[in-house]
Amino acid sequence: MFTTAPAIGLPRTIAPGVEWLGDCLISELKGSPIHIHHSIYLIHGGEQVLMIDTGRPTAFEAMLPEVEQILDGRKVDWILPTHPEVNHAANFERWMRRYPEARLVGDLRDFHLFYPEYEDRFVRRPVGSTLDLGRGYRIKFHEAPLKDLPSTQWFFEESQRIMFVADGFAYSHGHIDSPDGEGEAATHAPGECGLFAHELDHDVTDDQVAFIIRSALYWTRFVDLGQLFERVKAQLNEAGVKMIAPAHGNVIADLDAVMPRMEAAHNTMTPVA
């Protein structure tokens, strides 16, 4: 059973022109409350604004004033769902109605089946293509080695060197109890949701990584994640990634400090014989 909570510390500017927003679902791991990010990102290009993922449907009303405050009169030009799943794409119709000139972009192979009335605003972009937002801000569409649907894509913003990885590098994060056991502090370490991964006062644990992988990426139990992670690292190195922005986890801004821990956690996932 899940409940929801605001992501304390968000919205947050993670790089020039790049904003991190969202909320958290609360679940339980080994008897302790944990939070799971449901993040969206806004990129202010020199000429156009891109929204990556759309947020959970029940979070739309809370996110709308935050988005519009950040935009400060600008409009969303592009909406880019990482994949057609409720937590990532279900609000796209609301955002399209709010911003009637916005277009949906990405691997949109199934979207016309659900919303044919918006198909004239769909722009399909395969892996390897780019989207220019102006003044050096440009998105390159990448294959997603860690994905839960065939159409999942990753996106690399070239000016700030950020890879947006959808369900890749997902992990939960734990919380402390308040002294009286009541209120928001009972399930929320102060500011933890809005911290970069290296700013947490604890390392990412194997359990936190496994909790998401086993839930969202079922196929990973049948493969050698050690070998798969080598492919992921090669892809990140080739692109020159400096920051990783996942949908379900703290932003990774210090790859040298965090990535070895993430790799070790992935390597603990034993394939099914």
123 domain residue, yes or no = yes
Residue-level pLDDT at 228: 87
Any domain includes 209: yes
Does residue 272 lie within any of the structural domains? no
Residue 174 counted as domain residue: yes
More confident residue, 125 or 176: 125
pLDDT tens for each residue of 91-118: 999 999 999 999 999 999 999 999 999 9
Question: By C-alpha distance, which of 198, 204, 200 is closest to 265?
Answer: 204
Q: What percent of the chain has pLDDT over 90?
A: 59
Full residue range of the structural domain in which residue 191 is found: 3-267
- Global pTM? 0.90
Is 246 part of a structural domain of the chain? yes
Q: Return the CATH number at 132.
A: 3.60.15.10
CA distance 251 to 72: 24
Instruction: Please report which helix (H) or strand (E) contains residue 101, including its range.
Output: none
Question: What are the C-alpha distances in Å from 163 to residues 100, 113, 134, 141, 237?
Answer: 28, 29, 18, 10, 11
| Alpha carbon distance 151, 84 (integer Å) | 8
Residue given tokens 């070790």 in the structure block: 264
Residue 36 forms part of a structural domain: yes
Res 177: pLDDT: 41
DSSP conformation class of 160: T
CB 222 within 8 A of CB 272: yes
The tokens describing 198, both together, are 């290296």
Residue 80 domain-assigned? yes
Q: Is residue 273 part of a domain?
A: no
Domain count, the chain: 1
Distance in Å from the first CA to the final CA of the chain? 31
